[in-house]
Amino acid sequence: MGVNINFIFDCLAEDDDPKFWQFVCDKIFPKPLSLIPEKQEAWPVYMIIGSCSRWLSSDPKRFSDTHGEPLPSNSRKEKYSRLVMPEYDWSILYYFDEEEQKWSFGREPVVNHYMYRIALPAKSLNLCHATVLTHWEPMHPTNPEFSDYPQLYTFRKNEDEWVLASRDV
């Protein structure tokens, strides 16, 4: 399953780390398709990925569930919140092309679809750790009771390379 992320690189600012974006895309892009059961309704799968520049500082007392990693300033990690994802500075919409078995972009969502939203922090070139939020809309495809919770991925930079430190289950 191929993913063309060159358009993402074109959107990055000078203070965004292309290695971080590449690593996150490699880790997270396969996730949505791995959760959709084969016998699932024939809803198309879309994914929107974007940058958010409004992240709160990493205070371990404030975000104990994220181990001190920063969260977007306009997000909430609480059940039943419809505001679990931050506003994007910019975003790109992908859809999974069933015929070609790859992620493509440039197609508007149809009425019934799954949307996997991914928010990455802006200015990642200066970060040594980062939190990425993901969320399913209108519901989680296999566990609807998880629909109101974002999933957090934490990444750390070791030397010049990014590693996946942890993720919510």
Does 124 score more than 60 pLDDT?
yes
Beta-carbon count within 10 A of 162 CB: 23
pLDDT recorded at residue 64: 46
Sorting pLDDT into bands at 50, 70 and 90, what band is 81? very low
pLDDT recorded at residue 115: 87
The pairs formed by 3-7 with CB atoms below 8 angstroms and a separation of 24 or more are: 3/29, 3/94, 3/102, 3/103, 4/102, 4/103, 4/104, 4/105, 7/92, 7/105
Tokens of 165: 């430190």
Sorting pLDDT into bands at 50, 70 and 90, what band is 70? low
Ranges of each domain in the chain: 6-34+53-167
Residue 125 phi, psi dihedral angles, 5° rounding? -65, -30
Does 73 score more than 60 pLDDT?
no
Tokens of 124: 């990642």
